[in-house]
Structure 1
Amino acid sequence: MSFGQSGSGPFGGPPHQGGSGGSPGKGNDGPFGAFGPFNPFGGRGDDGDGAGGRGGAGRGPFGGGDGGEGGGARKGGQSRRPGRPSALVLTLISVVVLVGLFVLFTGVYTEILWFNQIGFADVFWTEIWTRVALFAVAAVVMAAAVWLSVRLAWKGRPQKAPSAGRDSLSQYQRQLEPMRRLVFVAVPVVVGLFAGSAAMNGWQTVLLFLNQEPYGKQDPQFGMDISFYLATLPFLGMLVSFLISVTLVAGIAGLLVHYLYGSIRVEERGGVTVEKPARIHVGVFAALFLLLQGVNYWLARYRTLQSQDGGWAGALYTDVHAVIPTSAILAVTAVIVAALFVVTILNGRWRVALVGTAVLVITSLVVGAGYPFLVQQYQVQPSERSLEAEYIKRNIEMTREAYGLHDVETTNYEGATDAEAGALAGESANTANIRLMDPNLLSQTYGQLQQFRPYYTFPDTLHVDRYEIEGETRDTVVSVRDVNVSEDQSWVNSHIVYTHGYGMVAADASEVAAQGRPKFLLSGIPTTGALADEKDYEPRIYFGTNSPEYSVVGAPEGAAPKERDRPQTADSGEDTAYTFSGDGGPSVGNLFNQLAYAVKFGSTELVLSSDVNEESQILYDRDPVERVQKVAPFLTVDSNAYPAIVDGRIQWIVDAYTTSDAFPYSTAQALGEATTDALNRNEQFNLSGQVNYIRNSVKATVDAYDGTVKLYAWDTEDPLLKAWQNVYPDIMHPYSEMSAELMDHVRYPEDMFKVQRELLGRYHVTDADDFYENNDAWSVPSDPTQDDDNVKQPPYYMTMQMPGQDEAAFSLTSTFIPQITQGAQQRNVLYGFLSADGDAGTGEDGQKRDSYGTLRLLELPRQTTVPGPGQAQANFDSNDSVSQELNLLRQGASDVINGNMITLPVAGGILYVQPVYVRSSGPTSYPTLRKVLVSFGDQVGFADTLEGALNQVFDGDSGAVTPEEQQEFDKGETGGGEAGDGGSDEGGSDEGETGGDTPAPAGSDLEKALKEAQDAIERGEEALAEGDWAEYGKQQDRLNKALEAAIAAEEEAKKAQD
């Protein structure tokens, strides 16, 4: 008689019942002590005695289980009781668990507070409940399937004792038995949890499927509406993949149990015995798997239209004539083989099902892979051009449709290169708006002239917009004066005091002030200028691209303000303080919310600081792009938000896109590759992912003061947007609710334009034969102002009038040169010029201009060599007179900086304009405009003014109308601007200019004012060096007053001359 098995392990295994007859029993390991000699947490139990002896007692550091009962004899020996964990250990474990749960809870709770405060709770809860539903369904289905499979396999185990050849399996059975019930439940639960976690990520796919809208256009192969590919096919693919996973996992689990308990066994003399329960079990799961695989084969027919594997996107000749038919054959074959397994379940004969399975495998190899290979190799390749023509045409048409290129207005352009006198007389709409202020170089200039305090900053690249000034729309270079908190500041300074930026700064993009400085239209603190006065808008910026991670604002009525507001002015001898009065963030006025946010941001000060009170709000997630992305996770958000004064507020305007990678026959494009250029070299901060469909479906605004987000449905025809509006019916406003002022500042989105120009480089060709030859492919030229030849030239915003266009419009433009081919030399000649009409406003609320978004492409003749941007730059650099004058500008260790290369189609040819900036070597220097380079054909002009440079090119008289107030730069200056030139290292005037070309008469009011300004600058620099901020502020006031006096004196002098 054998004896009971004793468990061992860290907590001891349960006792086993004594067996019957024979040799002494062996102690077995517990669940955590398998093969005890190699496990420090539990060893093998003691050997039993013999017939009628006692069972073995388990060993281990925490004690073994009780010995089993011998067959009809006395009870086994008692085990040593496991040591109980101390109260301290239990308390520590409980605390750790509670803290972990609280951290998880605060993450969800703070998100709820944020979404409730901003008014987008529906977005949060819709995503949460959809994720929870998917998790629950997937977890339950997977767990139930695995549990049922395992349970049925165990129930169907043979009842007779296993043969001697199965001793090893019997040992595994005995080891499993004490914890069998636990394992049979735990394994399905764990597998279900994994399945549920994976399924949650498909929440957008499910919502899009359930709320889809028809596209209204059919695919050219199957005649299915495009929405089938955008919404239905991805969902069906996800569903079938999940069910196949369930079938495989559950089937394998059941198969293992059948084998472990002997329902499937390998006989000693060869062969495999399958008991009836196992046969039924295996047959059912094999049939289910094959049925699902048949569905998968059938869906694969449609997925060929989304393929990117061939030379062109979509189903090509081989796909249509070989892959699609064979996929249908395989689908039918899989269903037939599934039926054979059902027959096997009934008659118990495996031969037919196994033969059918072999046929399916062979068919998939021969028909599914071999036949398409033969068709491609021996039928298509010898006649590829003619056979693929129809499918290339499909690719062209569907790609242009998917990227909004189907309505491009293409014009053959003359490309004249001879510059004749008076040629620009009829081009006033273009020449009067040529942008000389480079937004990519002016950040330092704005900083020196308009920063005023070290806790303010300007972005590296400014923005181009347009405003109406005295009845005329002018291009402007704009930026906000954002807050800049250094990392070494205290918590109070970083999160209580320095909470917001202050004011907008704008300069005319075309006109230039004295000494090459910007002509400010909006500047200073308090804000003044031709564009607006501070009383016209709220200047404080709590939500911006450089805002602190979080700020705590708000105070009880009557409490002393603590936020640093604007610097001291003539009316105030010290910096002013301010208290936020809007509704911009969740409340942290109670201890629980304070604790939650203290955990979120890892800051105990949120609980301990006396500056956090019952009226406090916490502002976070403050970047406009991130804010829009958070409230609209189903959109792809443009990486560039730009500010505008709209209806008395600073509003960030953000473009957002609906995208897909499932559009049939459309070529995929990596967004990061397309949007990377000289100004956005780091793909990490650009759009990510790969798409083959994109629409600018949404315009969004973010209020710079209180962070309010508004989403406007812009592309009302986009089926993806319609679907998401079905999901979230209350979060979007129709664009008819946009004010006229907001509509005036809408522009064509930059990232979308970059994607479109990348595709248009190939897909401007619409003839299949020409497209196949690929001998007219274009590329975006490298930026000629950069040392790196591998960075693309960015597109430029400007007001211009294209040939054939009725009137000038604010446009986004780019150029094309021939695409370099392997082994050929790069030719930097112009092949194409692209513009997108960005004027949406009509002057009326909610009215969109019909021409907005029109893409216009000029194609230049191949027989005429029109210089591209790189060649134009080379012409500038190689011109002797230009080189000599640039060397003069470099005297005194000054840097000469080439501004952006503006390209304009005028007078039947291409005009290039490049501003030349000079920056002196001083620590407080900044770039100032000193010269203008112009070229038309091979003619080069280089002068102090745009008008002068144009006249040099066009035979002494271009006939151009240039900006009326353009001032000639100070010819006596060769260095760039410095604080001593009228600026300062922290601030400057509200105009940035102090004089013209005519020197002030000695002893005049103007001369006195300028001397006063110079003295204020010098004293301000000394105060700044000593860290005396109060004195620095006083000198800034002196500077402002002196400059105002200088301007007034200059105006008086002009009047006297008139």
Structure 2
Amino acid sequence: MTRQAYGVADVEQIPYDASTEAEPGALRQDAVTTANIRILDPAIVSPSFGQLQQFRQYYQFPRDLDVDRYTVDGKTTDTVVAVRELNQSGLGDGTTWYNRTVVYTHGYGVVAAYGNRRSADGQPVFLESGIPSSGSLGDFEPRVYFGEFSPGYSIVGAPKSADPIELDYPSGATQGSTEGTSQVYTTFTGDGGPKLDNWFTRLIYALKFQSEQVFLSNAVNSDSQILYDRDPKTRVEKVAPYLTLDSDAYPAVVDGRLKWIIDGYTTSSSYPYSSTRSLSESIADTYTPAPAYAVDDINYIRNSVKATVDAYDGSVSLYTWDKTDPIIASWQKVFPTELKPMSEMSAQLMSHVRYPADLFKVQRSVLGQYHVTDAGSWYQRDNAWRAPNDPTSPASNTTLQPPYYLTMQIPGTDNPAYSLYSTFIPNRTGAESRSVATGYLAVDSDAGSGKGEVADGYGKLRLLTLPNNVPGPGQVQNIFNSDTNVANQLALLTRGDTSVERGNLLTLPVGGGLLYVQPVYVRSSGETTYPLLRKVLVSFGDKIAFEDTLDAALDSLFGGDSGASAGDTGVPPEDSGDTTGGDTGTDTGGNNGTGGDTGGTASNPALEQALADANQALQDRAAAYAKNDLVAAAQADARLQDAVERAVAASAAG
């Protein structure tokens, strides 16, 4: 009954005899998956989006960005997406009531970057960017009056006879420049809020928002509208308070509009014989904090509704998604015109619908115990699992690793699909704890692109059961952190005023085993600081590789030829002379170490020699430690230090 109540009764368990041997050519059958591996971490690159695409201090991007997919040049690619929203705190001395309420009223545009690419110097490669917006997403309404960071209220809609007073965007702006720019203004023309066309209405809203200017200001006229309740989740909650909403509203360009998509759940705590658990505790992870007090116990959940909120006019649409759910069927009888049938969803909207992460996390929590169907084993808890802790979090932080969206082909399927996955490790503590991977749960998250029709396979849960010799995420992260070669290269990356940030540790069932991929970012500690993707760590079995590009790392890991190309192949800098498909060019993030970006150093023989000496010292040091020869290791350390100092001096000399 628990499996039925949480929608996991039909999970397909697939024995996966994962190999731990990295054989040459092992990825040849997984070429599509390999080409779509996301190396851009949406939880790290927000500062990069801000430095490169914010343009003005009164704009902002969220801390954690969203992952979606778009079709570009006939190919569907995973993208990292962010909305450029308003940040009134950036106005500084200009934060008057007039500016806050009637001038700075909305954000502008969406920024999207390829998930599997990076530029020569480690920056994101954008497929939609700029002000005004341009790129591969087509024409759409870019103004964001309703967003996650919109002001509490704004007054919009100047009369047709008057000049617009709402700032639209800075014309001709470039990042960090104020010269040669002008301001473009606009007037809101939608139907987004009540009209302030009489003194009584103005008085009511002056009292509501505790501002006499709403009643007295000359900027308020009979054509004015007041916009409030502007957060997408708040608007859906107002329309459908009987729904429990997913913790993440994500943006998508749909049919010429920018819309927020939100998953709605129907829940109950009265399903017969079903295990009860806290919803908020089940979905807590690195991105979703657990509450201090959980009061949301459930024992039944369904993703019954897909909701959209138009970013321009705030209009809310609710679509019935799960026709078999009796709870939403009952609400539909109460509100017959509020819930639209799935058949009214457009093809573009369907192409951006995804399997919700919160539902998946609840199901992951349930399957940690209820993947066992043998009564004896279930009661003895001898095969209980749990999600691993996030290996990239500080040691004091024991939050769970979040699930990740990736386009990949799961073993047992015929084609790659946009999927959501998570791993399992044994649910043991103390001396009995082993962080080997025991299971791999994935769900097909691609609803297809048919109008009002869900693609076959959407929502299908597959659980790969693994042998007990496959390293789990925590073990792999420990290997990465303790490897002497990796540690020495990271030490070179962190010299001076730079620091290293490890990105999300992804796990992919390819090559007959589990492949781990982790991007490594370098951030300067100067006045202008944002992370640049410099290196990629990969692991398969007990082997690891650490290279400038994912493609080079995979080839190194699989005996010189992985059999497939990664998505960051063929993105070299202009005129670099690079023929390897790797990422060369001038290193602006402080990487003069071995395996770093070496393009642009050909005219500096002293620097080249210092790098070569450092590389040899690193190899000698690793060999000495392998033989437990501490004397030779100390000698190699001294040569390494000398080489680093010479490299720094040569680099400074040009």
Q: Smaller-chain TM-score range? A: 0.7 to 0.9
| Cα shift at 1:957 | 1.1
| Cα shift at 1:506 | 0.2
Among 402, 409, 416, the alignment partner of 1:794 is 402
Among 688, 703, 709, the alignment partner of 2:316 is 709
Distance 1:737 1:452 in 2: 38
Query: Structure 1: which 5+ residue stretches go unaligned?
Result: 1-397, 978-995, 1003-1058
1:647-658 matched pairs, under 5 angstroms: 647-658=255-266
| Cα shift at 1:860 | 0.4
Q: Which of 1 and 2 has greater Rg? A: 1
Among 540, 544, 550, the alignment partner of 2:147 is 544
Partner of 1:840: 447
Does residue 608 in structure 1 map to residue 216 in structure 2? yes
Partner of 2:156: 553
Partner of 1:632: 240
Letter in 1 for 2:237: Q
Letter in 2 for 1:506: A
Distance 1:531 1:562 in 2: 29
Distance 1:639 1:601 in 2: 27
Distance 1:441 1:845, change over 3 A: same
Distance 1:976 1:479 in 2: 28
Letter in 2 for 1:927: P
Among 413, 433, 450, the alignment partner of 1:805 is 413
| Alignment deviations for residues 789-824 of structure 1 (CA, whole Å, 9 cap, x no partner) | 411001101101100111111111111100024x53
Letter in 2 for 1:528: S
Distance 1:627 1:910 in 2: 42
Task: Flag as ranges the 4+ runs of structure 1 deviating above 3 A.
Answer: 570-573, 964-972, 996-1002
Does residue 948 in structure 1 map to residue 542 in structure 2? no
Among 104, 119, 125, the alignment partner of 1:513 is 119
Higher relative contact order (CA 8 A, sep 6+): 2
Query: Conserved in 2, the CA contact under 8 Å of 1:795 and 1:814?
Result: yes
Distance 1:610 1:783 in 2: 54
Distance 2:586 2:159 in 1: 58
| Alignment deviations for residues 126-153 of structure 1 (CA, whole Å, 9 cap, x no partner) | xxxxxxxxxxxxxxxxxxxxxxxxxxxx
Partner of 1:765: 372
Query: Conserved in 2, the CA contact under 8 Å of 1:585 and 1:617?
Result: yes
| Cα shift at 1:752 | 0.7
| Alignment deviations for residues 667-687 of structure 1 (CA, whole Å, 9 cap, x no partner) | 111011111111122537x99
Distance 1:558 1:940 in 2: 68
Among 28, 48, 54, the alignment partner of 1:451 is 54
| Alignment deviations for residues 632-677 of structure 1 (CA, whole Å, 9 cap, x no partner) | 0011011100000000000000000000000011011101111111
Partner of 1:464: 67
| Cα shift at 1:893 | 2.3
Distance 1:564 1:682 in 2: 39
Does residue 920 in structure 1 map to residue 524 in structure 2? yes
Partner of 1:1041: none
Among 96, 100, 106, the alignment partner of 1:500 is 106
Query: Conserved in 2, the CA contact under 8 Å of 1:585 and 1:620?
Result: yes
| Cα shift at 1:844 | 2.7
Query: Conserved in 1, the CA contact under 8 Å of 2:109 and 2:144?
Result: yes
Among 865, 874, 882, the alignment partner of 2:486 is 882
- Report the 3-state secondary structure (helix = DSSP H, G, I; strand = E; otherwise coil) of the residue aligned with 2:309: strand
- Report the 3-state secondary structure (helix = DSSP H, G, I; strand = E; otherwise coil) of the residue aligned with 2:28: coil
1:45-124 matched pairs, under 5 angstroms: none
Distance 2:234 2:410 in 1: 35
Distance 1:688 1:811, change over 3 A: farther
Partner of 2:270: 662
- Report the 3-state secondary structure (helix = DSSP H, G, I; strand = E; otherwise coil) of the residue aligned with 1:756: helix
Distance 1:622 1:492 in 2: 19
Query: Conserved in 1, the CA contact under 8 Å of 2:121 and 2:586?
Result: no
Size of the alignment, in residue pairs?
A: 579
- Report the 3-state secondary structure (helix = DSSP H, G, I; strand = E; otherwise coil) of the residue aligned with 2:89: coil
Distance 1:480 1:956 in 2: 41
Does residue 430 in structure 1 map to residue 33 in structure 2? yes
| Cα shift at 1:970 | 3.8
Distance 1:883 1:754 in 2: 34
Distance 1:733 1:665 in 2: 33
Letter in 1 for 2:533: L
Does residue 740 in structure 1 map to residue 354 in structure 2? no
| Alignment deviations for residues 5-63 of structure 1 (CA, whole Å, 9 cap, x no partner) | xxxxxxxxxxxxxxxxxxxxxxxxxxxxxxxxxxxxxxxxxxxxxxxxxxxxxxxxxxx
- Report the 3-state secondary structure (helix = DSSP H, G, I; strand = E; otherwise coil) of the residue aligned with 1:486: helix
Among 826, 832, 846, the alignment partner of 2:433 is 826
Query: Structure 2: which 5+ residue stretches go unaligned?
Result: 175-179, 573-581, 592-596, 604-654
| Cα shift at 1:932 | 0.3
Partner of 2:357: 750
Distance 2:407 2:181 in 1: 43
Distance 2:291 2:507 in 1: 26
| Alignment deviations for residues 543-564 of structure 1 (CA, whole Å, 9 cap, x no partner) | 0000000111011112111111
- Report the 3-state secondary structure (helix = DSSP H, G, I; strand = E; otherwise coil) of the residue aligned with 1:824: helix
- Relative to the length of structure 2, the TM-score reads 0.86
Distance 1:1001 1:819, change over 3 A: closer
Query: Conserved in 1, the CA contact under 8 Å of 2:281 and 2:290?
Result: no
Does residue 474 in structure 1 map to residue 77 in structure 2? yes
| Cα shift at 1:961 | 2.2
Distance 1:639 1:550 in 2: 23
Letter in 1 for 2:525: S
| Alignment deviations for residues 501-539 of structure 1 (CA, whole Å, 9 cap, x no partner) | 00000000001112011000000111112333xxx1000
Among 907, 931, 938, the alignment partner of 2:542 is 938
Partner of 2:284: 676
- Report the 3-state secondary structure (helix = DSSP H, G, I; strand = E; otherwise coil) of the residue aligned with 1:770: helix
| Alignment deviations for residues 146-201 of structure 1 (CA, whole Å, 9 cap, x no partner) | xxxxxxxxxxxxxxxxxxxxxxxxxxxxxxxxxxxxxxxxxxxxxxxxxxxxxxxx
| Cα shift at 1:898 | 0.2
Does residue 691 in structure 1 map to residue 294 in structure 2? no
Distance 2:533 2:584 in 1: 10
| Cα shift at 1:426 | 0.9
Distance 1:844 1:692 in 2: 33
Percent identity between the aligned chains?
Answer: 55
Which one has the bigger helix percentage? Answer: 1
| Alignment deviations for residues 814-859 of structure 1 (CA, whole Å, 9 cap, x no partner) | 11100024x5342111001111111102x33111112111111101
Letter in 2 for 1:499: T
Partner of 1:526: 132
| Cα shift at 1:749 | 0.4
Distance 1:719 1:577, change over 3 A: same
| Alignment deviations for residues 195-239 of structure 1 (CA, whole Å, 9 cap, x no partner) | xxxxxxxxxxxxxxxxxxxxxxxxxxxxxxxxxxxxxxxxxxxxx
Letter in 2 for 1:743: M
Partner of 1:969: 583
Partner of 2:461: 855
Distance 1:506 1:965 in 2: 20
Partner of 1:238: none
Distance 2:275 2:221 in 1: 56
Letter in 1 for 2:104: Y
Letter in 2 for 1:975: G
Letter in 2 for 1:634: Y
| Alignment deviations for residues 929-986 of structure 1 (CA, whole Å, 9 cap, x no partner) | 0000000011000000111111121111111221253443346426279xxxxxxxxx
- Report the 3-state secondary structure (helix = DSSP H, G, I; strand = E; otherwise coil) of the residue aligned with 2:197: coil
| Alignment deviations for residues 765-798 of structure 1 (CA, whole Å, 9 cap, x no partner) | 1111110111111111011111034110011011
Partner of 1:598: 206
Letter in 2 for 1:578: T
- Report the 3-state secondary structure (helix = DSSP H, G, I; strand = E; otherwise coil) of the residue aligned with 2:135: coil
Of stretches 784-793 and 539-548 in structure 1, the one that deviates more from structure 2 is 784-793
Distance 1:680 1:570 in 2: 35
- Relative to the length of structure 1, the TM-score reads 0.54
| Cα shift at 1:597 | 0.9
Does residue 404 in structure 1 map to residue 7 in structure 2? yes
| Cα shift at 1:608 | 0.9
Distance 2:499 2:433 in 1: 30
- Report the 3-state secondary structure (helix = DSSP H, G, I; strand = E; otherwise coil) of the residue aligned with 1:828: coil
Partner of 2:390: 783
Distance 1:712 1:796, change over 3 A: same
Distance 1:674 1:640 in 2: 15
